[in-house]
Amino acid sequence: MTDDKPSVEWSPEAVRRRLKKTAAEGSVNAQVFFDESVSADYLPKAAERAITEAAARVGRSACVKVSRVHKLANSVSVIGDPDVIAELFTVSPVKTVLPSEIEDIYPKPTRTERQK
Protein backbone atom coordinates (compact mmCIF):
# COMPACT_ATOMS: atom_id res chain seq x y z
CA MET A 1 0.00 0.00 0.00
CA THR A 2 1.35 3.43 -0.91
CA ASP A 3 1.39 6.41 1.38
CA ASP A 4 -0.35 9.50 -0.06
CA LYS A 5 1.55 11.89 2.19
CA PRO A 6 4.07 14.03 0.33
CA SER A 7 7.71 13.46 1.12
CA VAL A 8 9.28 15.85 3.62
CA GLU A 9 11.96 16.43 0.99
CA TRP A 10 9.34 18.11 -1.25
CA SER A 11 7.46 20.11 1.37
CA PRO A 12 6.94 23.80 0.57
CA GLU A 13 9.64 24.85 3.04
CA ALA A 14 12.16 22.32 1.68
CA VAL A 15 11.49 23.44 -1.90
CA ARG A 16 11.82 27.11 -0.88
CA ARG A 17 15.22 26.39 0.66
CA ARG A 18 16.29 24.46 -2.45
CA LEU A 19 15.17 27.27 -4.77
CA LYS A 20 17.06 29.89 -2.78
CA LYS A 21 20.15 27.68 -2.62
CA THR A 22 20.21 27.15 -6.39
CA ALA A 23 19.43 30.77 -7.22
CA ALA A 24 22.26 31.84 -9.47
CA GLU A 25 22.35 35.49 -10.52
CA GLY A 26 18.99 36.07 -8.84
CA SER A 27 16.86 33.68 -10.90
CA VAL A 28 15.83 30.03 -10.76
CA ASN A 29 13.96 27.55 -12.95
CA ALA A 30 10.97 25.70 -11.57
CA GLN A 31 7.92 23.67 -12.55
CA VAL A 32 4.58 24.97 -11.32
CA PHE A 33 1.80 22.37 -11.23
CA PHE A 34 -1.84 23.44 -11.19
CA ASP A 35 -5.00 21.83 -9.81
CA GLU A 36 -7.17 19.78 -12.11
CA SER A 37 -9.69 22.65 -12.02
CA VAL A 38 -7.40 24.60 -14.39
CA SER A 39 -7.92 23.44 -17.96
CA ALA A 40 -4.91 22.84 -20.19
CA ASP A 41 -5.98 25.62 -22.56
CA TYR A 42 -6.16 28.11 -19.68
CA LEU A 43 -2.71 27.28 -18.23
CA PRO A 44 -0.84 30.33 -19.64
CA LYS A 45 -3.43 32.78 -18.27
CA ALA A 46 -3.65 30.95 -14.93
CA ALA A 47 0.14 31.05 -14.64
CA GLU A 48 0.29 34.78 -15.37
CA ARG A 49 -2.42 35.48 -12.79
CA ALA A 50 -0.69 33.33 -10.18
CA ILE A 51 2.66 35.04 -10.84
CA THR A 52 1.09 38.51 -10.57
CA GLU A 53 -0.61 37.58 -7.29
CA ALA A 54 2.55 36.03 -5.83
CA ALA A 55 4.64 39.05 -6.85
CA ALA A 56 2.14 41.39 -5.18
CA ARG A 57 2.30 39.36 -1.96
CA VAL A 58 6.10 39.53 -1.96
CA GLY A 59 6.02 43.23 -2.84
CA ARG A 60 7.83 43.04 -6.15
CA SER A 61 6.93 43.45 -9.77
CA ALA A 62 6.13 40.27 -11.67
CA CYS A 63 9.74 39.29 -12.38
CA VAL A 64 8.92 35.66 -13.24
CA LYS A 65 8.39 34.54 -16.83
CA VAL A 66 6.57 31.49 -18.15
CA SER A 67 8.97 29.68 -20.47
CA ARG A 68 7.03 26.57 -21.45
CA VAL A 69 3.54 25.13 -21.00
CA HIS A 70 3.15 21.39 -20.37
CA LYS A 71 -0.51 20.62 -21.02
CA LEU A 72 -0.36 16.90 -20.24
CA ALA A 73 1.27 17.54 -16.86
CA ASN A 74 -0.99 20.55 -16.20
CA SER A 75 2.11 22.60 -15.43
CA VAL A 76 4.29 25.42 -16.65
CA SER A 77 8.03 26.03 -16.55
CA VAL A 78 8.97 29.35 -15.02
CA ILE A 79 12.17 31.29 -14.57
CA GLY A 80 12.79 34.25 -12.32
CA ASP A 81 12.91 35.56 -8.75
CA PRO A 82 13.13 32.67 -6.23
CA ASP A 83 11.03 34.55 -3.65
CA VAL A 84 8.15 35.06 -6.08
CA ILE A 85 8.36 31.44 -7.28
CA ALA A 86 8.34 30.21 -3.67
CA GLU A 87 5.29 32.38 -2.96
CA LEU A 88 3.41 30.55 -5.75
CA PHE A 89 2.82 27.77 -3.18
CA THR A 90 0.25 30.02 -1.50
CA VAL A 91 -1.72 30.93 -4.65
CA SER A 92 -5.03 29.10 -4.95
CA PRO A 93 -4.92 27.14 -8.24
CA VAL A 94 -1.28 26.10 -7.73
CA LYS A 95 -0.93 22.51 -6.57
CA THR A 96 2.83 22.44 -6.02
CA VAL A 97 6.14 23.88 -7.16
CA LEU A 98 9.25 21.83 -7.83
CA PRO A 99 12.74 22.87 -8.89
CA SER A 100 13.47 22.11 -12.54
CA GLU A 101 16.88 20.70 -11.74
CA ILE A 102 16.61 17.75 -9.43
CA GLU A 103 19.88 16.01 -8.84
CA ASP A 104 20.31 12.31 -8.45
CA ILE A 105 16.85 11.03 -9.36
CA TYR A 106 18.01 7.70 -10.70
CA PRO A 107 18.38 4.72 -8.38
CA LYS A 108 21.90 3.67 -7.55
CA PRO A 109 22.95 0.06 -8.09
CA THR A 110 23.07 -1.90 -4.86
CA ARG A 111 25.14 -4.81 -6.12
CA THR A 112 28.05 -4.33 -8.45
CA GLU A 113 30.70 -6.75 -9.61
CA ARG A 114 34.29 -5.78 -9.56
CA GLN A 115 35.98 -5.91 -12.89
CA LYS A 116 39.21 -7.91 -13.02
3-state secondary structure 56-102: HHHCCCCCEEEEEEECCCCEEEEEECHHHHHHHHHCCCEEEEEECCC
CATH number at residue 80: 3.30.70
How far is CA 111 from each of CA 12, 42, 69, rounded to the nearest angstrom? 35, 47, 40
Question: Exposed/middle/buried for 94, CB within 10 Å: 0-12, 13-18, 19+?
Answer: buried
- pLDDT tens per residue, range 52-61: 999 999 888 7
11 DSSP 8-state letter:
S
Q: How far apart are CA 105 and CA 107, in angstroms?
A: 7
The list of the chain residues with pLDDT below 50 reads 1
Residue 115 is assigned to a structural domain of this protein: no
Domain membership of residue 105 (yes or no) is no
pLDDT of residue 56: 92
Does 71 reside within a domain? yes
pTM for the model: 0.74
Q: Name 28's bridge partners.
A: 80
